[in-house]
Structure 1
Amino acid sequence: MSHTSARLLRKAAVAVAVGTLMAPVAAGPAWASPAAVPAALGADAPSPSPSGAAVRDLTPGVTRQLDTAVRKVMHEAGVPGVTVGIWTPGRPSYVRSFGVADKSTGRKMTPDLYMRIGSETKTFTVTALLQLVDQKKVGLDDPIGKYIGGIPNENRITLRQLADMRSGLFNYSEDPDFDKALTSDPQRPFTPEQLLAYSVKHPVRFQPGEKFSYSNTNLILLGLVVEKESGQHLGDYITQHVLDPAGMKHTLFPTGNEFPAPHAHGYTVQTANGEEADATDWNPSWGWAAGAMISDLRDLHTWARTVATGRFPDGGRMVSAAVQKQRLITPGTGMIKGAGYGLGIFDVLGWIGHNGSLPGYQTLTVYLPETRTSLVVLLNTDTDYRSREPSTALGEAITKIISPAHVYNLPVTRTG
């Protein structure tokens, strides 16, 4: 597989896993994280907050450390623009934008911009599936062959194994023909069936349940299950049953390359010639249920707690307590110490959520239940930094300062 294909796949993948975890593809992915950034920046060294809580109070001194840390990663990684949000109930918040949203005009990055969120889409697709589980329309331990045919091991791979990345199915975004098709015409549309075709021509990598392997193919199948059993297009279902009840008016599932204004331009080197390109208008349909969605800082702040707790902001249940409990069982991936992956969600040293990456954009949306702290990071490049994702480098640098006992660090093993 070409380097470009490997990188695409990684991104789409999610963040956690590896090999995905943040791996891969268009869909959402987020792949490797950047190298760690020293936390002791500025005059004040990280230390517990006066209350002894897991997250430090955002005093002026800590805020200065955060500003310095973000700028340091941006400079070293060549990131054009970044927005960061940190919120803990009852404490001061931190919302900052740095750099530019458009390199050609110099327009500044601001907190109100729409961004492509890549593999964070997986959290919405799996939420839709879990709602159907609650409605008894599907069962987590049903074989995928009950709903979709023509899949290797279709009578053995369960919906649960698709959602927790333990199916063994080949990741379509690693296929050389897919890589060629995408990089030769980044604005071409893909159907879910076309994406699956790139996967099913390959043998399975292992038998269902044997181990963890991040694969965007899994989410394409789950998206089709949601459509079949709900009778709605996936984007329509997610809008009606997840986004609207959550009050997330700035999040959408595009059908093509549409992109609401104002948005940041995204920059990538995932091109046929390896040169940097503006990927803002590239068609994200190749990620579909695994990584096509768009959101902004405000909505991802809402989503961080909503997906981690299973409750909408008004207190109503998004999924039942029993199903949410199953979702948050996050077995280790065997690749990353202190990290596990559950049903479309990860836990990295206490931070629960997902990351996303696709050409031009990376995101990180996580929640620390111990202090009810939400962290959202948005940036407009997906170019690797020291063989890791810049979103991970930023997450690591930030959490070294605010939560030294819970440092977000997601090294990823490349699979290509």
Structure 2
Amino acid sequence: MRHSSYRRPLVAALLAATVLAPMTTTPAAAFHPPGVRPTPVHATDRDGYGSDDEATDSLGPALSARLDKAVEDVRKQAGIPGVVVGLWMPGKGNYVRATGVADKATGKPMSADDYVRIGSETKTFTVTALLELVDRHRVRLDDLISRYIPGVPNGRHITLRQLAEMRSGLFPYTSDADFEHDLLSDPQRFFTPRELLAYGFKHPNTFAPGTQFEYSNTNLILLGLVVEKVTGRKLRDIIDERVLRPARLRHTLFPKGNEFPKPHPQGYTDQTLSGEVANSTNWNPSWAWAAGAMISNLQDLRHWAKVVATGTLLSPETQAQRLKTLPTGFPGTTYGLGIFNASGWIGHNGSLPGYETVTVYLPSKKATLVVMLNTDITYQGQEPSTLVARAVTEIVTPDNVYAGAVVTP
């Protein structure tokens, strides 16, 4: 299901492995390659999250130098303007680096303090809001979507659980050619959730509910509408009140339009009608809404990785349901309720025009990895954030190498 014959599909990217020879990394002397700036991380960060997962303030010069070289090699090979990497490993230390530029025109360096658009990582927040309603007995995962939203194709046989699992069979609206044309013809356009669903609903469902996996933003638009229907309030307000505030995420937001807190890097994409690279920094993310519109920064994503993977905001029973992952068809990657397990790393990645992120937690080592980029331009068919995350995990967790991400067809 392609949008067109001349460019890759426009989607909030997923998570599965593709075939690409891994970028090899080798030990390096204890120095920082040009453009790589060490970022000090204190025992208690400025937002007061505390030091429960930090024993030291460094991974050591040799290991840090290997990571510096690996990240910089990937950045240059894949043509990534700027990269921020944060790694926290209890008992071993932590690593926070920024390399490259936030603005190709001015040469302004990338900073670990930058805000970025987090794309599909928004799904972890939307589904958490839904699961919080499950804990409050306001909804049930096996409720049919037709109970809340009329007009959904085959809605009398699709459950909320299947929507969150990406197993509904509903056509992805981002795979509709008219949607792609309408968005890229006017990137500042504001889309309503109902307008987004209309692009998908004009297509037949792709399979019977629950029979297979297909990553579809249509599912998350519906779950966002369910949260609004049950609470009688805007999704962004519910996420702020019931998710962001309890999690103490002070630098994460669900924007109303194209607002973007400073500092932030410029975003670069080839998701244009011509295929030429464009600056997408101020594109309106309303087209992704509950599936991909949110904004955050490194320290909030670091904290969120552990919260969402361990279920801090949910009952143990509901969190267990969330983490009950199923095969995706991609090696090393399974998917649960708005969350994936990629070779042991639990969390989500995000991609939308100009920005990519990875926020994952490895329970076996209580390790957290966050990657932030200011481009979504693929390299040899792979998401650049995957290349960075893979290079890092090949060094620090060779038994748990991040499985990766692809643009979904």
* Equivalent residue, structure 2, for 1:326: 321
Candidates 38, 51, 57, aligned match of 2:24: 38
For the structure 1 residues 414 and 136, does the alpha-carbon distance in structure 2 shift closer, same or farther, using more than 3 Å as the test? closer
For the structure 1 residues 365 and 176, does the alpha-carbon distance in structure 2 shift closer, same or farther, using more than 3 Å as the test? same
Q: Does 1:14 find its partner at 2:8?
A: no
Query: 1:94 Cα shift?
Result: 0.3
SS at match of 1:302: helix
> Contact conserved, 1:80 with 1:103, CA < 8 A, in 2?
yes
Query: 1:283 Cα shift?
Result: 0.3
* Equivalent residue, structure 1, for 2:402: 408
AA partner of residue 216 (structure 1)? N
Superposed counterparts of 1:103-114, under 5 Å:
103-114=104-115
Deviations 1:86-123 (A, max 9, x none): 01234321011001111111111111111000000000
Task: Tell me how many residue pairs correspond in the alignment.
Answer: 380
Superposed counterparts of 1:200-215, under 5 Å:
200-215=201-216
AA partner of residue 318 (structure 2)? V
* Equivalent residue, structure 1, for 2:35: none
Superposed counterparts of 1:45-64, under 5 Å:
58-64=59-65
* Equivalent residue, structure 1, for 2:278: 277
* Equivalent residue, structure 1, for 2:359: 365
Candidates 366, 377, 380, aligned match of 2:374: 380
In the aligned structure 2, how far is the partner of 1:13 from the partner of 1:165?
Answer: 13
Q: Does 1:117 find its partner at 2:118?
A: yes
In the aligned structure 1, how far is the partner of 2:332 from the partner of 2:376?
Answer: 24
Deviations 1:44-73 (A, max 9, x none): 9xxxxxxxxxxxx92211111100011111
Deviations 1:109-163 (A, max 9, x none): 1111110000000000000000001111111001100000101110000000000
Identity %: 58
> Contact conserved, 2:29 with 2:65, CA < 8 A, in 1?
no
Superposed counterparts of 1:13-412, under 5 Å:
13-16=13-16, 36-42=22-28, 58-311=59-312, 318-334=313-329, 336-410=330-404, 412=406
In the aligned structure 2, how far is the partner of 1:222 from the partner of 1:290?
Answer: 9
In the aligned structure 1, how far is the partner of 2:142 from the partner of 2:267?
Answer: 39
In the aligned structure 2, how far is the partner of 1:241 from the partner of 1:116?
Answer: 21
> Contact conserved, 2:13 with 2:408, CA < 8 A, in 1?
no
AA partner of residue 316 (structure 2)? A
AA partner of residue 368 (structure 1)? L
In the aligned structure 1, how far is the partner of 2:198 from the partner of 2:212?
Answer: 23
Deviations 1:173-227 (A, max 9, x none): 0000001001101111100000000000000000000100000000000000001
AA partner of residue 328 (structure 1)? L
Query: 1:337 Cα shift?
Result: 1.6
* Equivalent residue, structure 2, for 1:23: none
AA partner of residue 319 (structure 2)? Q
* Equivalent residue, structure 1, for 2:34: none
For the structure 1 residues 322 and 372, does the alpha-carbon distance in structure 2 shift closer, same or farther, using more than 3 Å as the test? same
For the structure 1 residues 251 and 5, does the alpha-carbon distance in structure 2 shift closer, same or farther, using more than 3 Å as the test? farther
Query: 1:34 Cα shift?
Result: 6.9
For structure 1, the 5+ residue unaligned runs are: 19-31, 45-56, 312-317
> More relative contact order in 1 or in 2 (CA 8 Å, sep 6+)?
1
SS at match of 2:26: coil
What RMSD in Å do the two structures reach over aligned CA positions? 1.7
> Contact conserved, 2:14 with 2:406, CA < 8 A, in 1?
no
SS at match of 1:375: strand
TM-score (norm 1): 0.89
AA partner of residue 337 (structure 1)? P
SS at match of 2:246: helix
AA partner of residue 345 (structure 1)? I
Query: 1:15 Cα shift?
Result: 2.5
> Contact conserved, 1:34 with 1:389, CA < 8 A, in 2?
no
More deviation in 291-300 or 403-412?
A: 403-412
AA partner of residue 342 (structure 1)? G
SS at match of 2:140: coil
For structure 2, the 5+ residue unaligned runs are: 31-57
TM-score (norm 2): 0.90
AA partner of residue 212 (structure 1)? F
> Contact conserved, 1:4 with 1:271, CA < 8 A, in 2?
no
In the aligned structure 2, how far is the partner of 1:35 from the partner of 1:263?
Answer: 32
